[in-house]
Amino acid sequence: MQDVSSCFRLCLPGAQVCGTSSAMTFLRRLQWNDSSVLIHPPGFYIIGFTSLPFANLYFIFLAFVYVVSVVFNTCVIYIISVDLRLHNPKYIAVGNLAVVDLVLNTCIIPAMLKAFLAKNNFVPFNLCMVQMYVYYSFICMESFSIAVLAYDRMIAICFPLRHGSINTMTSMSCILGVIWCFCLGIPIFSTAIMTRLSYCDSVNVYSYFCDYAPVFRLACNDNTLQWAVASVLSLAILLGPLSFIILSYMSILIAVFRMKSVESRVKALATCTEHLILVAVFFFPFLIIFMVGLLARIKPDPDLRVLSLSLASCIPPCLNPIVYSLKTKEIKSKVLTMFRRIKVQVVND
């Protein structure tokens, strides 16, 4: 693990301060005397998993998770792109989820491997802000993309005769466009206000990446705005889509119980199984972690919390194509056809 950086830059023309603990003391005094001065370090050190036993095995496991995520999500994107029969609202939503999964894991796992497996845990200040922005943009898209799949199921089951006229390519494209604009736009503000903080207490971020809350807690000036934004956005990103999903399934259950045939009920509910697994895998770990953090009297072990959050972030993008996308009838048949062609070519060669 590398030492704390010895140089800090002030947000004044040409200003720079060097030193270690003496520099920290000087910068804190400077901040207290003149609150208009902003102090930004050259970067931060990611120092999670300090006491986790067999940590290297965990990072090797994450490397495997990343490879699986890239291979399967790329496969889903390719199949949907080349097969014109899959150019419909449902598979546009499935392809969108695959793109989001691919970017989300690419944002996190390679950086974790660099920091903890290659022991290169320094992240430049600007790159830290970029990683923070990309992560929260795509974790927001992940949440809303799963909600869009719930919308598709609700329309298909509750309005079977009008499904084609309600859930059109135009309407689905508009929904996804709004989600992308919202999720790419909101984190611009939340990340921009991080640059208005002075970081003169420490440059050690106890997390698995440049996480929002662990970074703003390092500030030595008022971070009330950042705390409020983090709280509001966390609720909006998690509870907003989850509330919509719950309401969607309540509508689905009402429609299912109105069906006269038991066979029709079972068939309708069976189409929702894979999606419910996605919901459970993505939302429940985050909700449990946050509820424990808010309600538990005993503070959870920091390494255990970082481990839980990293798993909650990295595992869903790996499982989504396996549990949901590749199990849909059309994509599954396309994959089997591709494998048969490859097998025939190998035999002929």
Coarse DSSP helix, strand, coil percentages of the chain, rounded to the nearest 5 percent: 75, 5, 20
Which residue type, as a one-letter code, is found at position 286? Answer: F
Q: Which residues pair with 18 in a beta bridge?
A: 7
Q: Dihedral angle at the C-alpha atoms of 70, 75, 77, 82, nearest 10 degrees?
A: 150
From residue 101, alpha-carbon distances to 56, 180, 284, 321 in Å are 24, 14, 18, 9
State residue 347's pLDDT score: 67
Which pair of tokens denotes residue 105? 């894991």
Q: What is the pLDDT of residues 75-103, one digit of tens each?
A: 999 989 988 888 899 999 999 999 999 99
Q: What is the mean pLDDT of the chain?
A: 83
Give the residue with greater pLDDT, 275 vs 304: 275
CA–centroid distance for 38 within its chain? 30
Joined together, the tokens standing for residue 130 give 């970029």
Q: Which tokens go with 215? A: 């970074």
CB 216 within 8 A of CB 197: yes
What does the pLDDT look like over 187-226, one tens digit per residue? 999 999 999 988 887 889 989 999 998 898 888 888 899 9
The model's pTM is 0.85
- Whole-number pLDDT of residue 1: 40
**Tokens 């969108």 identify what position?**
96
107: pLDDT strictly greater than 90: yes
Is the per-residue pLDDT at 7 higher than 90?
no
pLDDT value for 289:
79
Q: Is the pLDDT of residue 2 over 90?
A: no
Q: In the predicted model, is pLDDT for residue 10 greater than 60?
A: no
In tens, the pLDDT along 20-43 reads 444 455 445 544 444 566 788 899
